[in-house]
Amino acid sequence: MLRLHFAALSMTLRFMVIPMKFWRLFLALFLWLGFALAAQAQGGRVTGVVQDSVTHEPLAFSSVFLANTTLGATTNENGVFTLERVPKGNYDLVGSYVGYRLSKQPITVVTGSTTPPVTLRLASSGPQLGEVVVKADAHQEDNYRKFSGLFLGSTTFSKQCRITNPEDVDVVYNDTTKDLVATTDNFVQVENKALGYRIKYYGLHFQYNEATESAGFDGQTVFEEMTPKDDKQRRQWEANRLAAYNGSLTHFLKTVYDNQVAENNFLAQQVRLVQPPRATRAEAALRKKKTPLTAADQDSLKAWAALPPTAQLNYAARPIDSLRRVSADGLHTFLRFSDELQVVYFGEAPDPGYTAAMSPIGPATKTMPGEYWGFQKIGEFLPLDYAPPVAAAPATAPATQARAK
């Protein structure tokens, strides 16, 4: 199996290992192109209406937002909404209303222009308001605590997060499959007192498998900035947001797009997955049908053939240009490589709560999905329209501190 050492490609925080033989990582994802080029620009305008998918009646006072940003609005009594000063770029426009399924539509915003009117039609989610289903589960509280810990994470910032509507989360554990699944009919709201954001996670689907220790969750998020109690708290939030951004997946992808990887204290190296020589010879011996083998010989060869591949780090420094590709029209940027890519950030030390699960060249089967990026969860989750202070120049890379991604 070939793996990418990234937590995810979608910014819905899907912390999963992705099996692949060859990968092209598209960097002009979602909003980065727009935010990189137009963070301070006038932006564009998005207008539209939210309707019932069957009757086409307007849904008054429904929520409309650009996924994973702080940009959102509420429809008026006619179901009409307007978003002003939206930075140019590609977005997922999401509509939400109680008792209805989410509706999502991709849009492109151009600076100084208004998008063609967007119609979001929401389908009823089934049961009507007022229906209550009670599920008896003796382990419900234990299951919820496990979900909450995995969902929020264990970083310093995560410890300052809390779910404010636990009663809206349905958590079920399957004894047969060892899957812990958490869902919500509307949204999960997380208050992050470390970064000063209130996050609504719509359409959450969380799944954790105890056997494989793999977790994944997705949905559509919108951020709301909390009001600081004083100037000291405002400055602390600004500092924490910058700390969360530095070394993040978003930070790395932006530096690749800008072709400024080394200048921002990142090092990207390819990792080859090499089959142990004994395993290769064992496979060859098993394929030789003319060679007589005893039952003991076959068992030994099968055990050797099952040896996991070893990850070998290519220590020779390679410029990012050997991995970075730009499309012929200059509009899209890609990371192109085989096997795995290890990303190391030298800009700051890792969180005190992080413990590396393996050596960088240990067995591939021991690899933690996403490594440090998988360790960072809701506590470091920033909206994609977050822009670090312009005056914040990258620090000189220290000689001893680094964190592998």
Q: Which residues contact 150 (CB under 8 A, 6 or more apart)?
A: 180, 206, 208, 215
pLDDT: is 119 or 42 the higher one? 119
pLDDT at position 310, please? Answer: 57
pLDDT band at 215 (very low <50, low <70, confident <90, very high): confident
Q: Both 190 and 323 in a single domain?
A: no
Q: Both 342 and 301 in a single domain?
A: yes
Residue 128 within any structural domain of the chain: no
Q: Write the pLDDT tens digit of every residue in 260-305.
A: 888 998 888 777 666 666 555 555 655 665 566 666 666 665 665 6
pLDDT at position 305, please? Answer: 60
Number of domains in the chain: 3
Q: Both 56 and 188 in a single domain?
A: no
Domain stop point among 227, 251, 269: 227
pLDDT: is 371 or 390 the higher one? 390
The burial of 141, by beta-carbon neighbours within 10 Å (0-12 exposed, 13-18 middle, 19 or more buried), is given as exposed
Q: Both 16 and 59 in a single domain?
A: no
Q: Both 332 and 252 in a single domain?
A: yes
Q: Both 176 and 325 in a single domain?
A: no
Cα–Cα distances (Å) from 240 to 12, 200, 233, 373, in that order, read: 21, 20, 10, 17
Alpha-carbon gap, residue 99 to 45, rounded angstroms: 28
Q: Write the pLDDT tens digit of every residue in 61-115.
A: 999 999 999 999 999 999 999 999 999 888 999 999 989 999 999 999 998 999 9
Q: Which of 99-103, 136-140, 215-219, 343-347 has the highest mean pLDDT?
A: 99-103
- pTM across the whole model: 0.71
Q: Both 85 and 99 in a single domain?
A: yes
Q: Both 39 and 15 in a single domain?
A: no
Residue with tokens 């530096």: 255
pLDDT at position 378, please? Answer: 85
